[in-house]
């Protein structure tokens, strides 16, 4: 919302404040100043000049020659790139040597060897408005040679761009901002008088509100004695400065009323709407050409303004139609001032992607009782250019029972102080609220049952009609807080009465990250959105369907991942293509499945909440250029830290993994993850030809269980006895099987059984040599040679029983 | 020439010879042999010692014995000194033989790098944990109820349209969505935890947004919630101030200014200012709206509370001076390894 300092100053005394201070006051009231722009700073050397004649030059297509009279008795020749002036027009001439607001100096810069003795200016170039469309044409009557700013009576002004929040519909008008500022400063708020003396004969335009909920008030007032023409300068400048384009005196008055009172309104050519108005919902597929020339197709929820013959002439609260616009020859207008239901306007404006100054105001809620005042203001503003204006009596003011009535809200003094931590008295509170239009009637309010707020003084507060957002006690508490000033409410640190901390799960999650980082993997955060086909490309088989998005921005982001692998593979491929070294990435993130999880909590007494789809946290690690044994190594490192194991079941090959170099991690019947290498055909799809080791696991297995504390065992004081044993092991015996057999064979004396060497004569040999070191120790004695020898014999026969043959003896 | 004078010169000669031999012994083994030759059984000095019996004068015999013993001790000391010298020389020769260039350091697997959002996330958690907060979590796929309705945004509430919500095809249409903020966790915490509540809720959130330098469709927020008896707006301002100083440094300060959020009232925007004097908008906050407390099963007449929230990604972006948020999500190791 663009707010002019000069405009506010008409309604309250701002002399105490400089520009920054005024900005700070508005920000402190919740109307945040996004930017402040100074306009109308006089530029010395820019004078009023009359266009004498213009001439095209055959060699210059984009500029023409203009001769002007600047009142000094000499013809000045200038080149000009704009063509909107004609002989006789008054225009601003920046004379030679003028320092323009943008820092340029006007020099005798010639084109085609012909000098230019100055420059004609647009309003934007002079900082008078944002209008840069052509040379500014000045009103008749300015004396030649006079400084343009003096001639226009332009004074320095500041335009504040305010970010107005949704709960402040009143602040999208200068009056609302001024009321707030005046209250904060403790100065008088002086709204302007409206003049709607109804002198003329009764002129009644019939109004039929069919959609009584969507349109709760529709006033049509006829005015005559109008001559359509430009607005007085000070008004058109104000329209411009507020960010709109001056059109003519009628449209400008309409816009000024909106910018002042926050009441959008619409002036029709009275002749064109003589048949009356019908306000109804659109029918399916009904179309209307709006003022901007676009044909709009409507829906049954869109509210239409129709003429008496039921022809649509406007989309209520959004934009008018082209057919009933006023023209240069209009002398009588029918002024519509209405209240439309905010949500309906919002939905229509959203659906049509047509957001206008009017719709933005209606969807926040305009003052349901402000209609008469805004009509009077319209008449006053238009009368400045149309002294013969007649406001006819007999206006139609159709209302329905849906017109909002000002709310009455109970406010407890103790509640204000309970929420704000203040000790305000009843009088202070009512004084703050009264200044911004709330009417406070004192009353004693009894404590509610089981409430912490005691019985005590309070008010019955009548909410002003321009503040439809205030419906609850707490809304009034906020008004008090705003006006007492947030900065005065103090800063006290709330003392937590409980120990803070991470939950055991959160602590273990940090430990898990630490372990994974120590394994050399860096943390990636791929998008959780996938395109159709991404799962399949990564070799992920969907056990149940992936969740789909209802309204994805692009189809490439229309599915929620069921696995971390597609995202990490993409990240791996990216880094491979950039020839990164030592690529190792991990992600700890959520995956989602369409299947419902039971046990979703329903909030007490609310049927709207429901179960949610399955969402789990998973860990995936991938590294390039290492084989499956690295992934198994990661897993054993993680299980060692977390004290949680799983069976590495190589008989179950996970989808998308290398058929002979991968395994399923299982705990009983539950599959908790996969380990190994990514299938080469999958990697080929990502353009990766090195091996990629991968571990993925359900993080809840690691994080969800509180590990039991290990119980200390005394360390033996007796020496150990070691022996090594190596077997030639056939392909069908896994190292894990042999390891288990050896452990069993050496029994309780076995302290450690460690695989320390794997040897294949040829890399492709399936039969290999596995060498183990066995360390024996007893807790109560030194072992005898006989005991060691018995254990060794047992180990050897255990290996041989599996079909392995002893080597090296 | 007297017998004793003759003996003295023989001792001196023996010592001189022995000293010379010790001095030239090239290594430890040679030294041992030399030592044995001059102090062992067949040595001159030991031989002289055994001939002492022939000296009849008791005093002269004692004196001669002392002289031989002194000579032997002198010789042992010389041997020990020489031995130490030889050992030191041998050790330094051995060390010289195994000299290493310690800068010949082969590249090995180094520690991985945590994502800068995770780093910021954990730092924020730590500050709040120090202030007595627990950390709460909630699902990313949420119900419309938790994300909107319970937060005082019933269906058709105008503020909903500001969230650019991504809906999930699950349950009845519009019932399930990707949470647009971490605030639904407030509701879950109120429903599931005992009062009072001092909690922060970091998490991943989603918006239907095209990625650009300052917006990502997937990003991270942290939310704070305090509900207790006697909590006031001053506690909100004080907690924000304490956090500001703890996280950014004691030279920073904070301010609140009025704003609007459906789930808090009074609502505020909070800004922080460094010693340079520049205010930076950080996040939103306010007193928990009574309707939100009710939705969470908390009696707003008995308990009051405040909530605040802000973006984690932006903390990381500002701290590391990252120009474009998209760089943080490109998963490019060249970027990741900087942090």
Q: Which residue has the higher pLDDT, B254 or A61?
A: B254
- DSSP letters, A439-501, are EEEEEEEPPPTT-SSPSEEEEEEEPPTT-TT--SHHHHHHHHHHHH-GGGS-------SS--B
pLDDT of A603 higher than 60: no
pLDDT of A212 higher than 50: yes
pLDDT of B226 higher than 80: yes
**A557 to A248, A554, A560, A565, A575: CA distances (angstroms):** 49, 6, 8, 16, 22
The pLDDT tens digits for A267-301 are 999 999 999 999 999 999 899 999 888 999 999 99
The pLDDT tens digits for B45-76 are 888 888 888 888 888 888 888 988 998 899 99
Question: Cα distance from A103 to chain B (closest Cα, Å)?
Answer: 27
Distance CA B230, CA A421 (A): 8
At residue A542, the pLDDT reads 86
pLDDT of A126 higher than 90: no
Give ipTM to 2 decimals. Answer: 0.85
At residue A606, the pLDDT reads 42
The pLDDT tens digits for A616-661 are 999 999 999 999 999 999 999 999 998 888 889 999 999 999 999 9
Q: Do residues B124 and B247 touch, judged by C-beta distance below 8 A? A: yes
Question: Among A167, A346, A519, whose Cβ lies nearest the Cβ of B260?
Answer: A167
At residue B100, the pLDDT reads 87
Element housing A111 (H / E)? none
> Binning pLDDT at 50, 70 and 90, where does residue A809 land?
low
The pLDDT tens digits for A544-569 are 789 999 999 999 999 999 999 999 99
- Asked if A571 is an interface residue toward chain B (Cβ–Cβ < 8 A), one would say yes
Question: Looking at beta carbons, which residues of chain B come within 8 Å of A29?
Answer: 258
In chain A, pLDDT over 90 holds for what percent of residues? 76
pLDDT of A605 higher than 50: no
Q: Which of A776, A783, A627 is nearest to A693 (CA)?
A: A627
Q: Please, which residues 672-691 of chain A have a Cβ atom closer than 8 Å to chain B?
A: none
At residue A366, the pLDDT reads 95
Question: Are A592 and B143 within 8 A, CB to CB?
Answer: no
Question: Looking at beta carbons, which residues of chain A come within 8 Å of B336?
Answer: 522-524
Q: Please, which residues 9-28 of chain B have a Cβ atom closer than 8 Å to chain A?
A: none
The structure tokens listed for A79 are 């080149």
pLDDT of A609 higher than 60: no
List, in order, residues 6 or more apart from B21 with CB less than 8 Å away.
Answer: B34, B37, B38
> Binning pLDDT at 50, 70 and 90, where does residue A608 land?
very low
Q: How high does pLDDT run on average in chain A?
A: 92
The structure tokens listed for A66 are 């203009």
Q: Is the pTM of this model over 0.90?
A: no
How many Cβ atoms are within 10 Å of A742's Cβ, its own excluded?
24
At residue A610, the pLDDT reads 64
Helices (H) and strands (E) in chain B, counts: 12, 9
Question: Are A497 and B238 within 8 A, CB to CB?
Answer: no
Question: Span A373-400, mean pLDDT?
Answer: 94
Question: Are B209 and A553 within 8 A, CB to CB?
Answer: yes
- Asked if A85 is an interface residue toward chain B (Cβ–Cβ < 8 A), one would say no
Question: Looking at beta carbons, which residues of chain A come within 8 Å of B107?
Answer: 582
Which runs of E-coded beta strand occur in A286-420? 287-289, 295-297, 303-307, 312-315, 319-320, 333-340, 390-392, 396-399, 408-412
Q: Is A529 helix (H, G, I), strand (E, B) or coil?
A: strand
The structure tokens listed for B223 are 């939310």
- Asked if B158 is an interface residue toward chain A (Cβ–Cβ < 8 A), one would say yes
Q: Please, which residues 232-251 of chain B have a Cβ atom closer than 8 Å to chain A?
A: 232-235, 237-239, 241-242
The pLDDT tens digits for A234-251 are 898 899 889 888 899 999
At residue B1, the pLDDT reads 42
The pLDDT tens digits for A703-738 are 987 777 888 988 999 999 999 999 999 999 999 899
Question: Among B168, B239, B287, whose Cβ lies nearest the Cβ of A550?
Answer: B168
Question: Cα distance from A488 to chain B (closest Cα, Å)?
Answer: 9
At residue A175, the pLDDT reads 97
- State the count of interchain CB pairs (< 8 A) between A and B: 291
At residue A599, the pLDDT reads 44
Residue A584 pairs in a beta bridge with A623
Question: Looking at beta carbons, which residues of chain A come within 8 Å of B192?
Answer: 601
The pLDDT tens digits for B169-178 are 998 888 999 9
- Which range is least confidently modeled, A139-153, A212-226, B291-305? A139-153
Q: How far is CA A435 from the centre of its chain?
A: 34
Question: Cα distance from A562 to chain B (closest Cα, Å)?
Answer: 13
pLDDT of A42 higher than 90: no
At residue B237, the pLDDT reads 96
Residue A24 class from Cβ within 10 Å (0-12 exposed, 13-18 middle, 19+ buried)? middle
Question: Cα distance from A165 to chain B (closest Cα, Å)?
Answer: 6
Question: Looking at beta carbons, which residues of chain A come within 8 Å of B149?
Answer: 608
Q: Is B193 helix (H, G, I), strand (E, B) or coil?
A: coil
- Asked if A519 is an interface residue toward chain B (Cβ–Cβ < 8 A), one would say yes
Question: Cα distance from B316 to chain A (closest Cα, Å)?
Answer: 14
> Binning pLDDT at 50, 70 and 90, where does residue B4 land?
low
The pLDDT tens digits for A521-544 are 999 999 999 999 999 999 999 877
Task: Tally the C-alpha atoms within 13 A of residue B112's C-alpha that lie toward its C-beta.
Answer: 27
């Amino acid at each position: 919302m663009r707010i002019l300092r000069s405009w506010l100053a008409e309604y309250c005394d701002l002399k105490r404040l400089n520009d920054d201070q005024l900005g700070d006051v508005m920000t402190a009231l919740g109307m945040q100043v996004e930017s402040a722009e100074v306009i109308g700073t006089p530029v010395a050397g820019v004078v009023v000049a009359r266009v004498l004649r213009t001439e095209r030059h055959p060699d210059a297509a984009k500029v023409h020659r203009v001769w002007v009279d600047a009142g000094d008795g000499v013809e000045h020749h200038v080149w000009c790139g704009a063509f909107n002036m004609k002989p006789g027009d008054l225009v601003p001439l920046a004379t030679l040597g003028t320092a323009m607001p943008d820092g340029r100096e006007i020099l005798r810069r010639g084109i085609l060897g012909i000098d230019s003795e100055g420059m004609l200016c647009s309003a934007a170039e002079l900082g008078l408005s944002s209008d840069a469309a052509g040379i500014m044409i000045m009103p008749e009557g300015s004396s030649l040679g006079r400084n343009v700013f003096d001639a226009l009576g332009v004074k320095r002004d500041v335009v504040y761009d305010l970010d107005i929040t949704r709960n402040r519909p009143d602040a999208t008008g200068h009056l609302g901002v001024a009321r707030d500022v005046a209250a904060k400063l403790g100065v008088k708020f002086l709204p302007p008088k409206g003049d709607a003396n109804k002198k003329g004969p009764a002129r009644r335009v019939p109004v039929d509100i069919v959609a009584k909920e969507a349109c709760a008030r529709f006033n049509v007032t006829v005015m005559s004695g109008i001559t359509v023409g430009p607005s007085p300068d000070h008004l058109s400048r104000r329209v411009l400065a507020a960010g709109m384009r001056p059109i003519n005196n009628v449209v400008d008055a309409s816009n000024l009323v909106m910018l002042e009172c926050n009441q959008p309104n619409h002036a029709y050519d009275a002749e064109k709407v003589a048949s009356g108005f019908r306000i109804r919902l659109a029918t399916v597929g009904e179309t209307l050409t709006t003022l901007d020339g676009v044909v709009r197709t409507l829906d049954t929820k869109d509210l239409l303004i129709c003429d008496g013959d039921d022809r649509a002439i406007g989309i209520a609260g959004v934009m008018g139609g082209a057919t009933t616009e006023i023209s240069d020859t209009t002398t009588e207008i029918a002024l519509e001032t209405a209240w439309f239901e905010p949500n309906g306007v919002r939905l229509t404006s959203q659906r049509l992607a047509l957001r206008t100054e009017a719709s933005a105001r209606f969807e926040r809620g305009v003052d349901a009782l402000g209609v008469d005042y805004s009509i009077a203001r319209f008449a006053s503003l238009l009368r400045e250019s149309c002294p013969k204006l007649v406001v006819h009596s007999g206006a139609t003011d159709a209302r329905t029972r849906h017109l909002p009535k000002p709310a009455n809200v109970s406010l407890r003094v103790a509640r204000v102080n309970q929420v704000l931590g203040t000790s305000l008295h009843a009088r202070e509170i009512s004084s703050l609220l009264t200044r911004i239009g709330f009417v406070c009637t004192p009353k004693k309010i009894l404590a509610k049952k089981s409430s912490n707020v005691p019985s005590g003084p309070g008010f019955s507060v009548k909410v002003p009609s321009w503040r439809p957002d205030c419906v609850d006690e707490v809304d009034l508490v906020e008004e008090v807080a705003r006006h007492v000033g947030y900065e005065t409410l103090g800063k006290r640190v709330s003392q937590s009465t409980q120990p803070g901390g991470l939950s055991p799960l959160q602590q273990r999650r940090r430990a898990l990250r630490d372990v994974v980082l120590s394994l050399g993997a860096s943390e990636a955060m791929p998008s959780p959105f996938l395109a159709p086909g991404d799962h399949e490309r990564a070799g992920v088989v969907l056990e149940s369907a992936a969740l789909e998005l209802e309204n994805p921005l692009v189809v490439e982001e229309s599915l929620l991942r069921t696995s971390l692998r597609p995202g990490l593979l993409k990240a791996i491929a990216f880094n491979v293509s950039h020839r990164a070294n030592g690529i190792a990435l991990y992600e700890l993130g959520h995956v989602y499945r369409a299947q419902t999880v039971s046990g979703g909590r329903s909030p007490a007494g609310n049927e709207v909440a429901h179960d949610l789809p399955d969402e789990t946290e998973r860990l995936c690690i991938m590294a390039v250029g290492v084989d499956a044994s690295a992934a198994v190594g990661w897993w054993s490192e993680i299980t060692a830290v977390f004290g949680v194991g799983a069976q590495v079941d190589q008989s179950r090959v996970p989808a998308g993994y290398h058929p002979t170099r991968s395994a399923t991690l299982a705990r009983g019947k539950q599959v908790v993850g996969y380990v190994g290498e990514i299938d080469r055909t999958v990697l080929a799809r990502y353009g990766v030809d090195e091996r990629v080791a991968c571990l993925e696991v359900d993080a809840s297995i690691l994080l969800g269980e509180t590990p039991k504390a290990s119980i200390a065992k005394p360390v033996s004081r007796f020496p150990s006895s070691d022996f090594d044993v190596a077997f030639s092991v056939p392909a069908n015996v896994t190292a894990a099987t042999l390891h288990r057999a050896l452990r069993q064979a050496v029994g309780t004396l076995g302290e450690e059984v460690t695989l320390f060497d794997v040897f294949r004569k040829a890399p492709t040999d399936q039969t290999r040599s596995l060498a183990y070191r066995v360390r024996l120790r007893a807790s109560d004695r030194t072992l005898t040679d006989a005991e060691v020898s018995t254990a060794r014999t047992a180990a050897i026969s255990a290996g041989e029983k599996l079909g392995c043959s002893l080597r090296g003896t | 020439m007297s017998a004793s004078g003759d003996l003295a010169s023989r001792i001196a000669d023996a010592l001189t010879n022995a000293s010379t031999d010790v001095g030239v012994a090239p290594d430890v083994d040679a030294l041992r042999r030399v030592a044995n030759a001059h102090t062992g059984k067949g040595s001159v000095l030991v031989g002289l010692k055994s001939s002492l019996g022939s000296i009849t004068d008791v005093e002269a015999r004692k004196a001669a014995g002392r002289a031989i013993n002194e000579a032997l001790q002198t010789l042992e000391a010389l041997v020990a000194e020489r031995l130490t010298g030889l050992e030191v020389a041998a050790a330094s020769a051995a060390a010289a033989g195994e000299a290493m260039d310690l800068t010949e350091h082969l590249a090995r697997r180094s520690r991985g790098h945590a994502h800068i959002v995770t780093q910021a996330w954990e730092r924020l958690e730590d500050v709040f944990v120090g202030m007595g907060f627990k950390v709460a979590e909630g699902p990313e796929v949420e119900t419309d109820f938790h994300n909107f309705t319970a937060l005082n945004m019933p269906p058709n509430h105008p503020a909903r349209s500001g969230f650019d919500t991504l809906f999930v095809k699950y349950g009845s249409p519009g019932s399930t969505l990707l949470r647009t903020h971490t605030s639904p966790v407030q509701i879950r915490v109120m429903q599931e935890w005992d009062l009072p509540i001092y909690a922060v809720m970091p998490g991943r959130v989603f918006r239907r947004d095209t990625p650009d330098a300052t917006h990502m469709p997937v990003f991270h927020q942290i939310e704070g919630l305090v509900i207790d008896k006697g909590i006031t707006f001053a506690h909100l301002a004080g907690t924000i101030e304490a956090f500001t100083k703890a996280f950014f440094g004691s030279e920073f300060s904070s301010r609140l200014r009025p704003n609007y959020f459906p789930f808090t009232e009074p609502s505020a925007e909070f800004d922080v200012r460094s010693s340079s004097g520049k205010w930076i908008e950080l996040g939103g906050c306010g007193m928990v709206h009574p309707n939100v407390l009710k939705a969470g099963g908390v009696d707003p007449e008995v308990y009051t509370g405040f909530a605040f929230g802000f973006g984690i990604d932006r903390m990381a972006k500002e701290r590391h001076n990252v120009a474009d948020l998209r760089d943080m999500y490109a998963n490019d190791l060249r970027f990741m390894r900087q942090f």
